[in-house]
Amino acid sequence: MTKKLFAQAMAKFFMGLILFALLLFVPAGTIKFWNGWLLIAVLFIPMFIGGLVLMVKNPKLLEKRLNAKEDEQEQKAVVALSGIMFLAAFVIAGLNFRFSWIVLPNFVVIIGAVIFLLGYLMYAEVLRENTYLSRTVEVQENQKVIDTGLYGIVRHPMYSATLLLFLPMGIVLGSPISFVILLFYIPIIAKRIKNEEKVLEEGLDGYKEYKTKVKHRVIPFVW
């Protein structure tokens, strides 16, 4: 662990937390938007704990996860589209609470939070299995194909986990409209995966063979 890495991680964490809160509570017009607090809790508490674990156990992986600058032009477009999608979903959720457009029952919101946390557990397992898992599309030095565990079921279990994380966010926020907006994540990651697999086929030994072994990308027997 280095002081520089710790400072960088803490700065990004708190900047993300503040931006997230502003996007939710300003449109809601109040800090009494309980769905917003619930999403902040299930998102940022595990994130903080996971970051501390990585800082102690695998600081190199944490450093890679903090680097979000894409070199691939197609991935830059994916990042921009994702940002617009999340911005719209969070602002609409706040407005939905303020004006009571469509109110979801509390038990539906809780189910959404449980699915979200299950997605976090899956995400943690993917990080444990794959120490090459940076946030950018790249082939790293000495990287090897991983075909065991979740990678023996689908080729991109990280994206499987993010489906469980991102799609329920609208439900946790009590906004069906936000849920519909977040469904656009599916074509967005489809575009990302198409480019990512091209990069991996060209630069990672054994990846073409791996594709013939593990047929599905994100959802077993479906996609």
pLDDT for residue 54:
86
Q: For the residues 106-128, what does the mean pLDDT come to?
A: 96
pTM: 0.91
H or E, element range at 218: none
Residue 219: inside a domain, yes or no?
no
Point out the least confidently predicted range of 122-131, 134-143, 156-165, 178-187. Answer: 134-143
Q: Which two tokens stand for residue 109?
A: 């919101």
Q: For the residues 96-120, what does the mean pLDDT come to?
A: 97
Q: Look up the domain containing 21 and give its range.
A: 3-213
Q: For the residues 119-128, what does the mean pLDDT come to?
A: 93
User: For tokens 């697999």, what's the residue?
Assistant: 197
Residue 147: inside a domain, yes or no?
yes
CA 68 to chain CA centroid, Å, is 12
pLDDT for residue 127:
87
Residue 137: inside a domain, yes or no?
yes
CATH code of 61's domain: 1.20.120.1630
Q: For the residues 205-209, what does the mean pLDDT come to?
A: 91
Q: Above 70 in pLDDT, residue 69?
A: no
Residue 159: inside a domain, yes or no?
yes
Q: Above 60 in pLDDT, residue 183?
A: yes
Q: Above 90 in pLDDT, residue 87?
A: yes
Residue 220: inside a domain, yes or no?
no
| HEC per residue, 147-212 | CCHHHHCCCCHHHHHHHHHHCCHHHHCCCHHHHHHHCCHHHHHHHHHHHHHHHHHHHCCCHHHHHH
Within 10 angstroms of residue 190's Cβ, the number of other Cβ atoms is 14
Of 197 and 142, which is predicted with more confidence? 197
CA 155 to chain CA centroid, Å, is 16
Q: Above 60 in pLDDT, residue 1?
A: no
Q: Above 90 in pLDDT, residue 111?
A: yes
Listed in sequence order, the residues at least 6 apart from 128 whose beta carbon sits closer than 8 Å to its beta carbon are none
Residue 103: inside a domain, yes or no?
yes
Residue 108 near residue 171 (C-beta atoms within 8 A): yes
Q: How far apart are CA 1 and CA 8, in angstroms?
A: 12
Residue 223: inside a domain, yes or no?
no
User: For tokens 């990287």, what's the residue?
Assistant: 143
Q: For the residues 6-31, what does the mean pLDDT come to?
A: 95
* Domains contained in the chain, number: 1
Residue 161 near residue 119 (C-beta atoms within 8 A): yes
pLDDT for residue 3:
82
Residue 8: inside a domain, yes or no?
yes
